[in-house]
A and B are shown apart, each in its own frame.
Chain A
């Protein structure tokens, strides 16, 4: 009974959340739905990062670089091969997933801080790598999709028509991003409840114990990176599809750190907390900017808020939610007796 109450509550919360997300664009300006879509991109990326870091326990500071691979895959396919932008999204995810498997290889030998540093190295190197392969990436100048292949950009004229419904481009990007986000969220939820998810958690809690119970450490570690890479690739691709332009500055090491911040704020090991993490990443810089336009103030505010959140919510938002929802489900359980 208790489990039913808990699941019921979850379904209710998710249902309300989905309802809110569907109507949200009607309550904000058209341009603002683009910002909300951007939050969806962050959401996908940090759900993916949470799989590898929060559940499988492998700290990654390389996810900005993985997003770069997804973003550039889309940009390249649109600009040089004339593929319609939305069709590049799954391809970008798959390719980045494959690269993610490779990135997982160092994780077999390294752990903790050493793995974080190794993946951080990838993030630092990524802009230079992108500049080096200028034939594929457009080098320093990057790729301008509007100039290269305007006819392949969905909604460049300002509106998109799907099954007779006409949407503005910004609304289209919003619904596209958040529909993909919902699918990936449910997929992550199902995955983490399955045997694979249990194997991830076992590795996180004790590699030795996991292995002695017959969990294939190498397989599950690389698998976690691969799945996480798929998410990062989709996020990077959506970022470029919406920006219609990409250059090496779009994916600096700061992005990798930002993603980890979002994951920790949302709560490592909590999927639903990621929604808060995503909005945190999207809106905190803007809000800090508004405090004062004096140089440096915004960064100080940004940093201070992160410190504050970590002091007040050591388990992130997800941790706090758990503390709050446990007694509630208990109450519901008691009442249903």
Chain B
């Protein structure tokens, strides 16, 4: 521990010294007079390949920005490599991006374990790890030890806090059963739920964990039902979330379901409905912070229209209904914003400074009213969301914006 904190202190010290003398713009890796090179990894194949749109949406947006002059006359070149969602490959590809391609920064790498695998290395070599595509709270929380890392989306703790508060306020007599993935991500959600419930923590009658390597969640679901829970928290990735709906139906159990945002995309809910029933998914609750391109509310919205035209022009017209593409563009918008504020000759220090001083009220891809805001000690760019309810095969959001850190 002693050595670790020593290293952290050394890193912080180096950061402080370096930011004091940021005149060395010419030697910044990945930055030329015409181009800024950034890179990251994403699962293009394998079980998590649905998330590939997170990179593709961002890449399309950068091409659009480049076609309109780029950032301070520089084009943004974004390379993303396939890591198959395997942290060992993430580390290997990231090292290649840093040592071989000499990227300016690592950006938008997706996944909790994958990003944990490279965080120590990137902070050691002082390469920014920007806008991590994962909701683990450690990206925003542990900045003292990892000053070169910053997250993006609302944290899992924040999300579950919103559920907890909502239940405590609107249904204080619930009997809550929790199904959660037994790792850092699932435990973050569980902690958030308990925080949100506060004094009503006793409403939780049972918590059932599953391992990512499990085949199904049947036994967990049966135990939750046996505890006579009437409210079910699904803190699970898409495959298991879909299973929890179908298993509940097989058990003849119809609890009120809260499904976490990483499994509540419209297309996943459609599969969940098909594998259970309309009545089973009806009334489910989740949170939303992006404009869902399938929501009729945004049919004529400027940003969603732009979103479609960008995909048509730079992504072969693919993924028009894919909310992960919206995520990618939202994140890319923030990246462009950070680069603009990193000065005429951006350095790794200056972009880190910009990323920790964001104040974006005009990101068109997030829900109206949501600000992308950070400070050196508050490193959660997106920290607001709205509750949404699944009704007649669509998500409909309701209530005010809720902000939680």
Contacts and interface: CB of A to CB of B under 8 A. Distances in A.
A142 interface: yes
Contacts of A141: 87, 113, 183
Interface in A111-130: none
Contacts of A29: 100
A74 to B, nearest CB: 14
Contacts of A243: 88, 91-92
A146 B121 contact: yes
A144 B123 CA distance: 14
A158 B127 CA distance: 13
9 contacts: A140-B183, A140-B212, A142-B88, A144-B116, A144-B117, A147-B119, A147-B120, A150-B4, A157-B124
A156 interface: yes
Interface string A242-269: 0111110110000000000000000000
Contacts of B95: 31, 34
Contacts of B86: 247, 249
A150 B113 CA distance: 18
Given A140-B213, A250-B88, A151 B3 contact: yes
Contact of A245 (B88, B100, B124, B211): B88
Contact of A146 (B100, B113, B124): B124
A244 B87 contact: no
Interface string B1-41: 00110010000000000000000000000000000000000
Nearest to B120: A146
A31 B88 contact: no
Interface in A96-155: 131, 140-142, 144, 146-147, 150-151
Contacts of A34: 95, 99
Nearest to A145: B120
B295 interface: no
B67 interface: no
A31 B100 contact: yes
Chain B: interface residue count, which band?
20 to 34
Interface string A199-223: 0000000000000000000000000
Most buried by B among A32, A147, A157, A246: A147
Interface of A: 29-32, 34, 131, 140-142, 144, 146-147, 150-151, 156-158, 170, 243-247, 249-250, 295
B125 interface: yes
A124 to B, nearest CB: 15
Contact of A144 (B4, B96, B120, B212): B120
A208 B95 CA distance: 53
Contact of B213 (A131, A146, A147): A131
A147 B124 CA distance: 10
Nearest to A249: B86
B45 interface: yes
A246 B91 CA distance: 10
Contacts of B91: 243-245
B116 A147 contact: yes
B213 A247 contact: no
Nearest to B99: A31
A245 B119 CA distance: 12
A31 B96 CA distance: 7
B190 to A, nearest CB: 18
Contacts of A140: 183, 211-213
Given A32-B100, A245-B91, A247-B88, 18 more contacts: A34-B99, A140-B212, A144-B87, A144-B117, A147-B116, A147-B119, A147-B120, A150-B3, A151-B3, A156-B121, A156-B124, A157-B124, A170-B99, A243-B91, A245-B117, A247-B87, A249-B88, A250-B88
